[in-house]
Amino acid sequence: MIKKITACSTIFFLVAAPVLMLAQTAINPYKYSVRKKIECTHGAVVSAHPLASQVGVQILKKGGNAFDAAIATQLALAVVYPGAGNIGGGGFTVAHLANGKNIAIDFREKAPGNANRDMYLDANGNVQTNLSQNGTLSTGVPGTIAGLFAESKYGKLPFKELIQPAIDLAEKGYVISEREARTLNEYQKDFMKYNSVTPVFVKKGGWKTGDTLVQKELAKTLIRIRDNGAKGFYEGETADLIVNEMKRSKGIITHEDLKNYQAIERDAVVFNYKRDYTIVTMPLPSSGGVLLPQMMKMIENQPLKSFGFESVKAVHLMTEVERLSYADRAKYLGDKDFVKVPVKTLTSDEYVAERMKLYNPDKAGNSKDIQSGIIQKESEETTHLNVYDNEGNCISITTTLNGEYGSATVVGGAGFLLNNEMDDFSIKPGVPNMYGAVGGEANAIAANKRMLSSMTPSVVLKNEKPYLIVGTPGGTTITTSVFQTIVDIIEFDMSPEDAVNAPKFHHQWLPDILFVEKDFPMNVREELQKMGYQIKQREAIGRTEVIKISDGKIIAVGDKRGDDTAEGF
């Protein structure tokens, strides 16, 4: 019997096989529920999949801290949410510890050592997006496993305990949701085209809601990681399997690339908003660390609150702010270990004030007229999860394969999908990537360089205390969704639920289009069109997860746009 999906209700009631409890946990992978919101006092996890959120909470209950729970949740997502949860991709972690320390861990993929600037251009200089977006030539050196071990430095429980639920889920299988069945079916052709060893995701006759997905090879890979640490991925049998896959499919990742991969702890970006708020977010190669402070500073002195949520005036102001920031993104942003990026200037009050002179409160801007600022010299699949623990630690992680199911190539014999993150580089100046973002020299491909990202895991403090943990997938819409969610809560006094689920909008300078979600009010669209905006409706913008902490109460909310689930106790 299958029940229809509704928020906070049991969605799967499938007894396709005898109910089996995962070892060490009381999690039932054959019967689980989507829960959109939880209010609790001890700790909470919100992620894209009910089983992953449950795994995280189990770890908290066992005495693990937010890092332990986040590691276990990420690993579980790599099994139960294969479109984006991953061990073959990369991402970013932002954390605010109970002792006040801020942490930013960069486990973004990097270009292989044999990558070069023009590797996706044909003999005539034309871009070959089929190569930057599919198959293993599109794959950056994966960072996720290095990231998990960098996080585990701050955890309390042994890694072996944190990875075991994922191993059990892979080995014994779990029932798939209607959403998972649908997306797996959409990608059947790609899985067949981009794999020479047929992966477990291919199913004759297609997938149905309630089918059990068992991933034995992935379980073996996870066991090698459990037993050998990061070397269980970057060296030995898993590395051999990755390199063999490269040979079969014309990829260029070598044993040396894998062995040399390092996650990097960076200084988190920390800035104030008005008197009470401090925002902690991810620095480059996440563009969020530049765009979020720019956008927040651009609205800081504007009477946004008096305009009202999704009023014409508010949407106009926020759209123009997004346009201005994205113009700078295209020109200046890239991996600052490779190119000089004037971050300090771009986020300075003076620069931001100067940029706001281009804002006309009565008229839509025009991206032809609004270019990036002049700087003299300086003196759609990803997934997000948040955890808050009873010690007061906050952790916010966005991780990705880039497109849904990444490159669509599963490492033969190792059972995990490889990313197609190379497409996040500017493969040719001025040519948009799969999210329509243009870039230039700063984000050109170079060996071992990290590609620019939009992922913006963030923590907001209020009067120096944890207040919001926030993040989302969504390609270039990530930064604008995080911006809007924070503004909706801080400025428009919206509940986290409304801020997450209310219709979002997005402008990224180029194309010069204001994108809105289906439920975005028609009358506001019409008024904005009169002001000169070209408006286009698009699919869901983001899948935002929020944890709000106030007056000793924890409220965790998962986005209605997916199976996202909040759990806590």
- Which bin fits 314, alpha (ψ -120 to 50), beta or left (φ > 0)? alpha
Q: Candidates 99-107, 344-352, 447-455, 531-539: pick the segment binding ligand DON (CB under 6 A).
A: 447-455
Nearer to ligand DON, 322 or 421 (CB): 421
Nearer to ligand DON, 173 or 334 (CB): 334
* Closest separation in Å from C-beta 108 to ligand DON: 8
Radius of gyration for the alpha carbons in the chain, expressed in angstroms and rounded: 22
Q: Candidates 119-127, 134-142, 342-350, 378-386: pick the segment binding ligand DON (CB under 6 A).
A: 378-386
Cβ 568 vs Cβ 40: under 8 Å: yes
Nearer to ligand DON, 146 or 219 (CB): 146
* Closest separation in Å from C-beta 334 to ligand DON: 13
Cβ 155 vs Cβ 64: under 8 Å: yes
* Closest separation in Å from C-beta 550 to ligand DON: 29
Helix (H, G, I), strand (E, B) or coil at 537: strand
> CA 379, CA 437: separation in Å to the nearest integer?
29
93 near ligand DON (CB under 6 A)? no
Query: Binding to ligand DON (CB under 6 A): which residues in 27-86?
Result: none
The number of beta carbons lying within 10 Å of the beta carbon of residue 122 is 10
381 near ligand DON (CB under 6 A)? yes
Q: How far is CA 562 from CA 48, 304, 427, 470, in A?
A: 7, 30, 31, 16
> CA 482, CA 541: separation in Å to the nearest integer?
11
Q: Candidates 114-122, 190-198, 209-217, 452-460: pick the segment binding ligand DON (CB under 6 A).
A: 452-460
Nearer to ligand DON, 107 or 154 (CB): 107
Helix (H, G, I), strand (E, B) or coil at 136: helix
**Backbone φ and ψ of 317, nearest 5°:** -60, -50
The alpha carbon dihedral of 549, 457, 290, 436 has a sign of negative
**Backbone φ and ψ of 82, nearest 5°:** -65, -20
Nearer to ligand DON, 68 or 517 (CB): 517
> CA 150, CA 146: separation in Å to the nearest integer?
6
Of 221, 319, 382, 456, which residue is the catalytic one?
382
Q: Which residues contact 205 (CB under 8 A, 6 or more apart)?
A: none
Total interface residues for ligand DON by CB under 6 A: 14
Strands 535-537 and 514-516: parallel
Interacting residue with ligand DON among 380, 488, 517, 545 (CB under 6 A): 380
347 near ligand DON (CB under 6 A)? no
* Closest separation in Å from C-beta 404 to ligand DON: 7
Nearer to ligand DON, 12 or 107 (CB): 107
User: x/- string (CB under 6 A) for ligand DON, residues 453-492?
Assistant: xxx-----------------xxx--x--------------
Nearer to ligand DON, 54 or 409 (CB): 409
Query: Binding to ligand DON (CB under 6 A): which residues in 384-403?
Result: 400, 402
* Closest separation in Å from C-beta 31 to ligand DON: 28
Interacting residue with ligand DON among 238, 281, 382, 399 (CB under 6 A): 382
* Closest separation in Å from C-beta 510 to ligand DON: 16
Nearer to ligand DON, 87 or 478 (CB): 478
* Closest separation in Å from C-beta 539 to ligand DON: 10
Of 482, 460, 57, nearest in space to 276 by CA: 460
The number of beta carbons lying within 10 Å of the beta carbon of residue 102 is 18
Tell me which DSSP letter residue 100 carries.
S
CA dihedral 73, 185, 502, 567 (to 10 degrees): -20
Query: Binding to ligand DON (CB under 6 A): which residues in 405-434?
Result: 421, 424
Nearer to ligand DON, 68 or 381 (CB): 381
* Closest separation in Å from C-beta 264 to ligand DON: 16
Active-site residue 139, yes or no? no
Q: Specify the DSSP element, H or E, that contains 471.
A: strand 465-471
* Closest separation in Å from C-beta 54 to ligand DON: 23
Cβ 213 vs Cβ 30: under 8 Å: no
**In the β-sheet with 37-40, what is the strand arrangement from edge to edge?**
37-40, 553-557, 545-550, 465-471, 458-462, 277-281, 269-273
DSSP string, 143-177: -HHHHHHHHHTT-SS-HHHHHHHHHHHHHH-EEPP
Of 82, 413, 114, nearest in space to 242 by CA: 413
Nearer to ligand DON, 60 or 119 (CB): 119
* Closest separation in Å from C-beta 495 to ligand DON: 25
**Which residues sit at the interface with ligand DON, rule CB under 6 A?**
380-382, 400, 402, 421, 424, 453-455, 473-475, 478
Active site residues: 382
